[in-house]
Amino acid sequence: MKYRKLGDSDVTVSAVVLGAWAIGGWMWGGTDDENAIAGVRRGIDLGMTSIDTAPVYGFGHSETVIGQAISGIRDRVQILTKYGLIWDKTLGVFHFETQDNTGRMMKVYRHSGKQSVIEQCEQSLRRLGTDYIDLFQCHWRDTSTPIEETMEAMEILHKQGKIKAAGVSNWTAEEIDEARKVFPLASDQPPYSMVRRGIENELLPYCIDNNVAVIVYSPLQLGLLSGKMTMDRVFKPDDLRSKSPYFTPENRQKVINLCDRLKPIASSYGATIAQLVINWTINRTGITAALVGSRNATQAQENAGSADFKLSSEDKQAITEMVDGLSLNLPAQ
């Protein structure tokens, strides 16, 4: 496993980070806590020591499960969690309405007011069973709160020793630039994959120029790039992939064809297609690490192995040319 520093902070993370969204069950068709805990511990044993979660993943459930998984081994891991999405109060900007794991309708709001952020941090610490968070990230920008106020909360929590570093997720280069004038930001967490490369236009160059780490999420595009996707796969209504434009029959077939072309390269390294995709991603210029979901020990073991080989320059170029030539039919973003 490779380990990389987050910007100018003292936090170092594994290049492959265990993403814990699916562990929460919410929007992923349920969860199995016992398997999830086994997956987290297996990943840690294999060097995937960084874990990314958020309160909204299962409305507290993901953080609680992660807390159970790291009990007794907190000193071996780096916890990356988030703030800024709340469901227990009507504050800030309405984000969306959804069902929780029990079918109850929940309204989620973006809110990053100073006192709210401090309270959210305390709640996360309790669920995680720890007294500090390695990287505390704003999940989505709350336009009802000045960025300066949100960053003041980061300064307070940092001085109290409750967070080691601050980051953001889904923020623009302009928003990051404004925030950094108040408090240092170690990282940004945007979506990025072989089929979703929009950050290469503006955000990634900005982060490279300003030493802001980039921890990308969904490098396998919700499993579409795993090499295991089929045309006949049917998703439950509560699975977000059932409504994703990336999973239309046309787009799914195009990506399956890409994976078929990648298979011989993956095989030459003794790797799976998913491992090849992740390896290509974490070795792109400016990419610090990639979040990859694991719901059990088998998935964790495969994901952790993604950093264990080095692509030749020829294979890197061949893969990039394949990806550059892929054109999906997607709505304007």
Give tens-digit pLDDT for 81-137: 999 999 988 999 999 888 777 778 889 999 999 999 999 999 999 999 999 999 999
Q: What is the pLDDT of residue 140?
A: 96
Confirm if 80 and 45 have CB atoms less than 8 A apart.
no
In-domain check, residue 229: no
In this prediction, residues 203-226 reach a mean pLDDT of: 96
List the Cα angle 89/182/170 in 5-degree steps: 55
Question: Stretch 208-218: mean pLDDT, rounded?
Answer: 98
Identify whether 232 is part of a domain. no
Question: What's the predicted TM-score (pTM) here?
Answer: 0.94
pLDDT of 179 over the 60 cut:
yes
Residue 259 lies in a domain: no
Range of the domain at 63: 3-223+275-309
d(CA 217, CA 233): 23
* CA–CA distance, 317 with 228 (Å, rounded to integer): 24
Average of per-residue pLDDT across 211-217: 98
Look at residue 30 in the predicted model and tell me its pLDDT.
Answer: 61
The count of other CB atoms within 10 Å of the CB of residue 330 is 13
CATH code for position 180 = 3.20.20.100
How many domains are contained in the chain? 1
pLDDT at site 103? 77
In a domain, 266, yes or no: no
Percentage, residues of the chain above pLDDT 90: 85
**Residues β-bridged to residue 107:** 97
Catalytic residue among 57, 109, 217, 246: 57
Tell me whether residue 321 is in a domain.
no
**Lookup result for tokens 């907190």:** 74
DSSP, collapsed to helix, strand or coil, labels residue 49 as: coil
pLDDT at position 240 is 79
Residue 253 belongs to a domain: no
Q: What is the mean pLDDT of the chain?
A: 94
Does residue 206 carry a catalytic annotation? no
In a domain, 291, yes or no: yes
Q: 5-61, pLDDT tens digit by residue?
A: 999 999 999 999 999 988 876 555 567 899 999 999 999 999 999 999 999 998 999
Identify whether 97 is part of a domain. yes
Long-range CB contacts (within 8 A, 24+) of 176-182 = 176/206, 176/207, 176/210, 176/212, 177/206, 177/210, 178/147, 178/148, 179/147, 179/150, 179/151, 180/210, 180/212, 182/147, 182/148, 182/151, 182/152, 182/155
> Which amino acid is it at 38?
A
pLDDT band at 239 (very low <50, low <70, confident <90, very high): confident
Percent of the chain with pLDDT over 70: 98
Q: What is the pLDDT of residue 165?
A: 98
